[in-house]
Amino acid sequence: MTGETQNSCGTCTVCCKALRIVEFDKQAGVMCQHCTGTGCGIYETRYETCKGFLCGWRILPQLGDGWRPDRSGVLMLVMEAKDLPEEHGVAGNGIQFLILGGEKAILRPGFAEYVMTLVTRNVAVYLSADSPKTLINKYLRPSVMAKNKAAVIDMLLHIYRQHVGYRDLNKWTPLPWVDMP
């Protein structure tokens, strides 16, 4: 959506579909009318919200190309430390993982490892699947402390399925939105 940082959007347009943008009344899950399919058709005059937005992948240069949201099926949203529960705020900003690529996105190599790193550092980790986000550190911590990656993946899948169930129960927009390679 915005200018230059170490990771650049390229042809990704995931946030232009996934996010609700109040400034011009765009609903979540609906592609912005200005999207060309590979970028913004009104880039120079795009909305202030768009100018100010960077997804987590854009601002975490240590995450490689495979983490670009249209490739990973995961849109990462940074959550400011001031908005987090006190026990996590001291670890800095938190991260919400919005899962758009289904279970495949959770099983992708590197996903569980990164989540484990964050939980080890006590960084607040939230998960959502077009459903209310859940703080998941406490569910993952025992397996993370035991360095049991398989158990972490099982728990992530379990939490994800709970979210999908809740979403379906409420008849919300079906996912995935992102067709992963």
Q: Which CB atom, from 50 or from 123, has the smaller least distance to ligand SF4?
A: 50
In angstroms, give the least distance from the CB of 66 to ligand SF4: 13
Q: Which CB atom, from 14 or from 140, has the smaller least distance to ligand SF4?
A: 14
Tokens 């569980």, located at residue:
112
Q: Which CB atom, from 69 or from 94, has the smaller least distance to ligand SF4?
A: 69
CA–CA dist 99, 84 (Å, integer):
20
Report residue 170 as tokens.
């409420």
Residue 153 has φ and ψ, to the nearest 5°, of -65, -45
Question: Do the bridges between strand 134-135 and strand 74-79 make them parallel or antiparallel, or are there none, so unpaired?
Answer: unpaired
Per CB under 6 A, 12 contacts ligand SF4:
yes
The stretch near ligand SF4 (CB under 6 A) out of 28-36, 83-91, 112-120, 166-174 is 28-36
Per CB under 6 A, 178 contacts ligand SF4:
no
Tokens 């992948």, located at residue:
57
Cβ atoms of 98 and 74 closer than 8 Å? yes
Per CB under 6 A, 47 contacts ligand SF4:
yes
Region 56-75 residues binding ligand SF4, contact defined as CB under 6 A: 57-58, 68-69, 75
Which three-class secondary structure state does DSSP give residue 99?
A: strand
Using left for φ > 0, alpha for ψ between -120 and 50, and beta otherwise, residue 40 falls in beta
| Number of CB atoms found within 10 A of residue 100's CB | 25
In angstroms, give the least distance from the CB of 167 to ligand SF4: 20
Q: Which CB atom, from 139 or from 177, has the smaller least distance to ligand SF4?
A: 177
* Interacting residue with ligand SF4 among 5, 20, 38, 42 (CB under 6 A): 42
* Interacting residue with ligand SF4 among 3, 6, 16, 106 (CB under 6 A): 16
DSSP 81: G
Cβ atoms of 102 and 119 closer than 8 Å? no
Q: Rule CB under 6 A: which residues touch ligand SF4?
A: 1, 9, 12-16, 32, 34-35, 40, 42, 46-47, 50, 54-55, 57-58, 68-69, 75
